[in-house]
Amino acid sequence: MLRGLKLALVGPLPPPSGGMANQTRQLGELLANEGAVVTIVQVNAPYPGKVVERVPVVRAVVRLFPYVVRLFRVMGTADIVHVMANSGWSWHLFAAPAIMVARWRGVPSVVNYRGGEAATFLAASHALVRFILRRSSALVVPSRYLHEVFSTHRIESDIVPNIIDLERFRPRTEPRSRNALHILVPRNLEPIYDVAAALHALQILRRTLPQVRMTVAGSGPEREQLERLASELGVADAVEFCGRVERDVMASLYRDADVVVNPSLVDNMPNSVLEALASGVPVVSTNVGGIPCIVRDGATALLVPPGAPAELAAAVRRVLEDATLAAELRQNGLRDVRQYAWSQVRDQWARVYEAALAGSRIAMETA
């Protein structure tokens, strides 16, 4: 069914690398490999000049006009539109226009909503979001958590999970050195991801495990603040802030890690957790949002409360010091993550597209 399908894929692309941008690029590549004719409408195209980039309102207007024009042109030849959607201004400036243009052009649209802050966003904007979604053909979310969030606002959705490239994200084959213990934190440097808690946990760990080091792979507005915190805590020499990296470099970082830490305060279905499982790395994460929907505490990951560095450090210590536990987490994670392979997810997307093309849209409201 995918072969020959003309699909307009609306979403962000790297750079910078990030969850939604990587999923957009990966989905486009995989659909094209299945024979679909994919045209990507990029929502984060470069700004025309540094001056425009510094002025929030101006840059939004400058980017929005050519974006809408491209939507009109691309949808003139598309069979179906796949819209990668997020919360907040991203919804209003990019997802909503794409849905409305598709409706005006008579093209069915599939809305793939992925925002971890959906609960807060919908609490304030559910009426407007519901109005826009009624103009689409399907709402698809990647997790049971988001499905339940939308259900509380009488909005129905289908679940199609994220896709993980199991060829790129794979376990290391060579033995691990126990001389240096490596913690990887693959999150952006924003308040909701609470990288500060990971730094406090590192300080606690180094009191008895001085060989522990940490790599923080992500970028964001809190970088300088977090670097200062690392110095204040006396762990600056053990932390590398490497910024956002491309997916092949990210895959190497996973294979070099002894444990992956996800300290976020808000989350949906982070690719970083799934990529860690696929790479055979034990995961320690906060028990927030959709995390319990994708990992099982004590079986595929260790879960701790958010904002609790001492408990985070204790869980990491268990993984680093208990080889049997670490091996069980690795093996269980490798088994569970297979459900996110393209071979498993492909037919789910094909069914969603087929239903949208046939006109049997997923109901946006329960009775």
Domain ranges of the chain: 6-163+342-358, 181-339
Structure tokens at 166: 């199991």
Which pLDDT value is given to residue 40? 97
Q: Is the dihedral of CA 176, 178, 180, 183 positive or negative?
A: positive
The verdict on domain 181-339 having CATH code 3.40.50.2000 is: yes
Which pLDDT value is given to residue 104? 95
Residue type, 219: S
Task: Decide: 245 and 217 in contact? Cβ < 8 Å.
Answer: yes
Task: Decide: 279 and 207 in contact? Cβ < 8 Å.
Answer: no
CA distance 138 to 159: 11
Half-sphere exposure of 98 (CA within 13 A, CB side): 30
Residues with pLDDT less than 50, the chain: 360-367
Which pLDDT value is given to residue 143? 92
What's the predicted TM-score (pTM) here?
Answer: 0.89
Q: What CATH number is given for 6-163+342-358 in this structure?
A: 3.40.50.2000
* The two domains 6-163+342-358 and 181-339 share their CATH topology (first three levels equal): yes
Which pLDDT value is given to residue 63? 79
Which pLDDT value is given to residue 180? 76
**CA 68 to chain centroid:** 25
Q: Nearest CA to 289 among 302, 308, 270, 307?
A: 270
